[in-house]
A and B are shown apart, each in its own frame.
Chain A
Amino acid sequence: MNACGNQGCMPWRVKPCGQASEPGGMTQRSCVYFGARYVLGPVREAVHLVHGPVGCTYYGAMVRGEARDLCGTALTEREIVFGGLDRLRKALREVWSLYPRARGAFLYATCSSGLIGEDLAGLARQAEREFGRRVVAINCPGFAGKSQAEGHALAYQALLDLVRPLPRYRYPTVNLVGEYNVAGEAREIRRLLEKLGVRVHTVLTGDTSWSEIETLARAHLNLLFCGSTARRFVSELRQRLGIPYLKVSFYGLSATGASLRRIGEVLGLSSTRVEALIREEEAGVLARIRPWLRIFDQRRALVVLGAGRLGPLSRMLRELGFEVLGVASVFGSPEDHREAAPFSDFLTDDPGDDEFERALAVLRPDLVITNAREQWRAVKLGFPTLSFPQERRRGPYAGYQGFTNFVLSLARVLSAPVWGLLGL
């Protein structure tokens, strides 16, 4: 039985990113439909209609731990055999009076509708003519890609079609793109930008609506937060409508400061104003986090997260005095891996549950940072664990206030007495 799975003392087989998951390897990756919901879930003023069996509607209503409006056609055996387009057509007729404020509809395909070959795009065009409102079909059957990343791309592609060319605002305005407003992070970023006199038009897709997406071209600059989900979207916008974009990160003091300075440069803000803000905010944060820094020094962390957060998070940990033992993405892109590479010797993609456990056993980290599904495995094996996306009550982790929250969360996890009570 040594033919498989024996990797000596390496925590995990180092896999390059972009490969399909091995069946039966217990991957944490999800499906294309999941990715599409992840991006489009929070969009307001839209009907979200799933063409598939009831399960996809049930699960898809929960996006990053928050309930979102979602309805579905709840296909039964009958429609699978005889086709479900009639039901979908009827559903599309009904939704406008059930969601009277909707400006348009997103139509999601699922495995079932994809396999029986339903032509959602054709129906969407038909419905647009009939009801005079936009219907955007997203061809996202679960199997249509290696992971949720393909779903993110499809969702942004759908959003791209909504954007109309418009004249710019007169005052400096930005869009936050690839910012998902986890636990109110967009609010903190908005606060900092507004202190510099920069307005935020919309937050894609953490806090946005159909009409805000349509008028997105009124902003002067797109700030790109999560490169792995939204880079194509912003570069397309630059090509089509001439809106420049800037890759920024608000995770950690140095990254936030650097991002604010770059934004100031691009928008032509007074540098004294930017520096004053950074100085003032940093002083506040440092005063609040100083008592905790002692417990972070030389602690060793293991990071297993989706994709875009790896690099920024590793940098944040390094800033606080942690040593990053290993980094694994679930569906990382080469860009994410390049960002994370300087921080860790062990870098891999898509670890299975056994590889995750082996990494815990071999590396014995003092802190594990992982996603909401896998956190309980690390906790069960007795490792202090912090999960992402964080629950709302832990507060945002982005920006200066967010950094304080992050430090407090880490301090809570690491100094919890429970880890000291393990032996009897």
Chain B
Amino acid sequence: MNKGLTLRNVCILRGQSPLIEVDYNISEGEVLTVMGPSGVGKSTLLAFITGTLPSGFKGMGQVLLDGEDITSRPPHQRHIGILFQDDLLFPHMSVGANLAFGMPAGGTMTARRAKIDTALADVGLSGYSDRDPATLSGGQKARVALVRMLLSNPSALLLDEAFSRLDAELRAQVRDLVFRVAKERKLPVLMVTHDGEDAKAAGGKIIELESLTKN
């Protein structure tokens, strides 16, 4: 059985024409970087993996997570975490409520609360639980988004240009944090980016996508 995230003969079509093709196995703790100019369909690939492919696109091939075929599972049963370039913290929930939303149900309120507080402390945000996410700085929001995703116990991690909104210094910090945590938890990571620095920092294999539909 293959541990990790496997993309087996994945091909995504827009209408009739093929957009991207990928065939790769990302093992535990490995980071696969997919690079390419915008409009080439990088985010579409991630949408196929999360099960949220927009209408007008068609995906073929299989997505396997730890050897299990999840291609036809609904999005919420895939256990694949995703981070976008925007933090996408739910603006109507406090920081703590955002984290609680992501945690699997179960456990007493005190236990859940304690878990949230510890997780926040781990990323240097002790005491932020009751804060309005809109009052946080960009770096803090990015860290909360990461913690929220990790608390949901994902089995793989997707990064959709996740660091591109952050300025250079912060970017390196957040990026190192994400990669470190992913290694610790042995998560296979698929990163989509157009930034060479991100790819270098990931240190894994890089797939350069080019447009299959030549104009």
A binds B: no
Chain B contact residues, CB within 8 Å of chain A: none
